[in-house]
Amino acid sequence: MFAHSRKCQLLEAVNAPAGQGKLHVDFEDEAKLEILEPSLEVGYHILHFIGHGIAPENGGGLLLEDQDGKRLPVKADEFLASLAKGLSPLRLAVISGCNTAQTLHTRGFRDLARALLAEKIPAVLAMQFAISDTAGLKLAEVLYPKLIAGQSLEAATHAARRALWRRDDPVLQADALAMVLRYSTGSGSDRVKR
């Protein structure tokens, strides 16, 4: 559950004077597939998930909740299949969950960031390893105002990373953030850039 005070902080960041009327934010308090699925069907351009990730060697994905509020590991492919109707308008997925962009050099393992790219989402910001809730909030506080102001995703991500460097555990927090992009080669095929 995303604490009320954290929601207020995030809303303050995105509703700064430069962002007035440019960004609409909705929150879901329960991390359940049956709640997230209809929410995404609205046609959002950005999905920002704050929660726990599952490392690729454990199937990759997110730790959500079942009907009783107990932990429910959901693999990347299962998560994407359940949200398929709402994925096409997405332009950016920000996944503030540990190990959601963890690269493994082992065949058969795929992290959530690359699974989202495979579904044609053009850009994903995700975490290579653990990140604190405070650092995740700082990411949003810096990223969204920069995007609203017209900066590129690369510039906004760089600014967020610089802000994370100034936090208590700067190396761990700033280096966790990974930007993974899908770009066209001009030959009709897409490539992944990291």
How does pLDDT run across 7-65, given as a tens digit for each residue?
A: 776 677 666 655 566 777 788 888 888 888 888 888 888 988 888 888 777 668 899 99
Residue 40: CATH number of its domain: 3.40.50
The domain of 140 spans 4-17+25-193
Instruction: Name residue 64's amino acid.
Output: L
Across the chain, mean pLDDT equals: 79
Backbone angles phi, psi at 103, to 5 degrees: -90, 130
> Pick the residue with more confidence: 153 or 12?
153
d(CA 38, CA 74): 17
Kindly tell me the burial class for residue 48, based on how many C-beta atoms sit within 10 Å of its own C-beta (0-12, 13-18, 19 or more). buried
Q: Is the dihedral of CA 129, 174, 114, 34 positive or negative?
A: positive
Q: What pLDDT is stored for residue 114 in this prediction?
A: 86
DSSP 42: T
Number of domains in the chain: 1
Among 5, 78, 91, CA closest to 46: 91
Q: Is 190 helix (H, G, I), strand (E, B) or coil?
A: strand
| Neighbouring-strand partners of residue 72 | 64
In this predicted structure, the answer to whether residue 68 has a pLDDT above a threshold of 80 is: yes
Tokens 């590991």 correspond to 73
Backbone angles phi, psi at 52, to 5 degrees: -100, 135
